[in-house]
Chains A and B, each alone.
Chain A
């Protein structure tokens, strides 16, 4: 069984082919890093996997369950969670409300127009636990607008983890963070249990290479190199893509 399997995935925007017959197989519990220069199609790949974009051809399966035709919201219910390269949160709300909304998304409670949300103690306790897990428990009642960029990154991760995903897609989780914040987020990611499969896009090679077991190098919407850290670093095509040799 594979955690995530992508086969012959195709996507074009007009005349521009951004994903070209892409194949990718990720094993359960694996930590996979996806790298490539800007415009390689990494975020587009995530958008195709989560259903935010519809592929022109090919298939996506999650633990052998076909996802290709499912809407984005259904994929979340099947255990697929993600973070965004550009932080996408609810700025008018507190950190606690942000994570509560994440939990509510998978709960039948979300349809209830009669109960008071602030009295759903079990749900709120779960949200507080998720925030504590990323070291933000003490800021639970602070409005998101009054938090730092690094804290918002951690809120994104807390929201994704709160949904107990089977596969977690992290889109540049270290982007824009200070050295200290990177260290904190790195510790956080290393602490995620093995029953969560992680696929991560990242440009910070020092951290990302430490984290990943296998690496996929993308260029112009294709997988160019794939293998272990040593194999990928040693491959001349990696150097060619990054250094233009």
Chain B
């Protein structure tokens, strides 16, 4: 069994047994939140890590999904209709975001997504007749898929695990597909890809749609998790958070955004209970990551392990001939 398979097995066992060993409902809910943000960070990583496009407007799409569910449920629609509408509207919103932002790359892309995210925040804040402004919207009850009530934190956690695993699997298939290879090519050499026959713009556009789908899933889970949505969900800070998760965990990897989400959510929700200046601590962690593992925690750790193994192999190779050689 390879190290990756062992790691996956351990992760699966840990995830499934969380409600058994995590003390209390609060911490189970924190675990649900980690998984939701991990999906959010994965959606950002599809663009940042695999397409080389940094979006600072993803919270706008995340909020669009959350608000759509809340508005639809408030209007008397069922959960299936609300979820379908949230996915549909978020994909349409992503298409608009992408059509406007993909006119450029680099700093230009960042600035356009930032502006679009701020427009979404402005709408959430000011379109009071729909969003209820500052007061936000509440969701009366969570769904009960196949009769499985999600009201208990552990039940909701398990539902989140299922969605999370599906999201990770979908992303894994996506990035290992021919389309994923094309996307990575457009990140590394867009000019070359064009000359090789690829439609660079369209590849990036489809990648945005896939990212939009993932962010819609995260936004839907989020509104059911908090049973409430308000303008801070759509703010710039909410857009920056998953970007930081991706950068700290390691962009262009599947596990990097997940590790980043675990790190940031634990500091935000657990360490903050014990440390008043937890923001400062988070900043110090980021600085340390950038200084010692600039490519992120996951690739950095893997590189460290490789170096240690290499050093160990070298030591063994140096020692062996001496021990087996002739005695003078």
Q: Given that A73-B198, A91-B188 are known contacts, is A104 also in contact with B182, CB under 8 Å in the complex?
A: yes
How far is it, in angstroms, between the C-alpha of A73 and the C-alpha of B190 when the chains are bound?
11
Interface stretch of the complex, out of A23-31, A33-41, A82-90, A173-181: A82-90
Whole-angstrom distance between the Cβ of B203 and the nearest chain A Cβ: 8
Whether B197 contacts A106 by the Cβ 8 Å rule is yes
Residues of A within 8 A of B192 (CB): 84, 88-90
- Interchain CB contact (< 8 A) of B176 among A88, A105, A116: A116
Whole-angstrom distance between the Cβ of A2 and the nearest chain B Cβ: 22
Whether A101 contacts B179 by the Cβ 8 Å rule is no
A14 within 8 A of B: no
Residues of A within 8 A of B199 (CB): 73
Q: Given that A115-B178, A117-B180 are known contacts, is A90 also in contact with B189, CB under 8 Å in the complex?
A: yes
Whether B174 contacts A97 by the Cβ 8 Å rule is no
Whether A117 contacts B197 by the Cβ 8 Å rule is no
A95 within 8 A of B: no
Residues of A within 8 A of B195 (CB): 50, 52, 72-73, 76, 82
- Interchain CB contact (< 8 A) of A117 among B181, B193, B194, B206: B181
Whether B178 contacts A92 by the Cβ 8 Å rule is no
B288 within 8 A of A: no
Residues of B within 8 A of A1 (CB): none
Whether B179 contacts A105 by the Cβ 8 Å rule is no
- Interchain CB contact (< 8 A) of A97 among B177, B181, B210: B181
Whether A72 contacts B189 by the Cβ 8 Å rule is no
Whether A110 contacts B182 by the Cβ 8 Å rule is yes
* Secondary structure of the B contact surface, majority rule: helix
A8 within 8 A of B: no
How far is it, in angstroms, between the C-alpha of A109 and the C-alpha of B177 when the chains are bound?
9
How far is it, in angstroms, between the C-alpha of A101 and the C-alpha of B179 when the chains are bound?
10
How far is it, in angstroms, between the C-alpha of A91 and the C-alpha of B199 when the chains are bound?
21
Residues facing B in A96-114 (CB within 8 A) are 97, 100-102, 104-107, 109-114
**Which residue from chain A places its CB closest to the CB of B174 in the assembled complex?**
A113
Whether B173 contacts A113 by the Cβ 8 Å rule is yes
Interface string of A49-64 (1 = CB under 8 A from B): 0101000000000000
Residues of B within 8 A of A72 (CB): 194-195
Residues of B within 8 A of A116 (CB): 173, 176-177
Residues of A within 8 A of B210 (CB): 113
Q: Given that A88-B189, A88-B191, A91-B188 are known contacts, is A110 also in contact with B176, CB under 8 Å in the complex?
A: no
B302 within 8 A of A: no
Q: Given that A88-B191, A88-B192, A89-B192 are known contacts, is A105 also in contact with B198, CB under 8 Å in the complex?
A: yes
A215 within 8 A of B: no
Residues facing B in A153-200 (CB within 8 A) are 159, 163
A118 within 8 A of B: yes
Whether A92 contacts B196 by the Cβ 8 Å rule is no
Residues of B within 8 A of A118 (CB): 176
B185 within 8 A of A: yes
Residues of B within 8 A of A84 (CB): 192
Whole-angstrom distance between the Cβ of A108 and the nearest chain B Cβ: 9
Whether B196 contacts A100 by the Cβ 8 Å rule is no
Whether A73 contacts B185 by the Cβ 8 Å rule is no
Of B174, B178, B200, B206, most A-chain CB atoms within 10 Å: B178
**Which residue from chain B places its CB closest to the CB of A109 in the assembled complex?**
B178
Q: Given that A91-B188, A101-B185 are known contacts, is A114 also in contact with B177, CB under 8 Å in the complex?
A: yes
Top 3 A-B pairs, shortest CB-CB distance: A105-B196, A105-B197, A76-B197
* Chain B residues near A (Cβ < 8 Å): 173-174, 176-182, 185, 188-189, 191-200, 206, 210
The 22 sampled A-B contact pairs (Cβ below 8 Å) are A50-B195, A73-B194, A73-B200, A74-B197, A76-B197, A82-B195, A88-B191, A90-B185, A91-B188, A100-B181, A101-B182, A101-B193, A105-B196, A106-B196, A110-B178, A111-B179, A111-B182, A113-B174, A115-B178, A116-B176, A117-B176, A159-B196
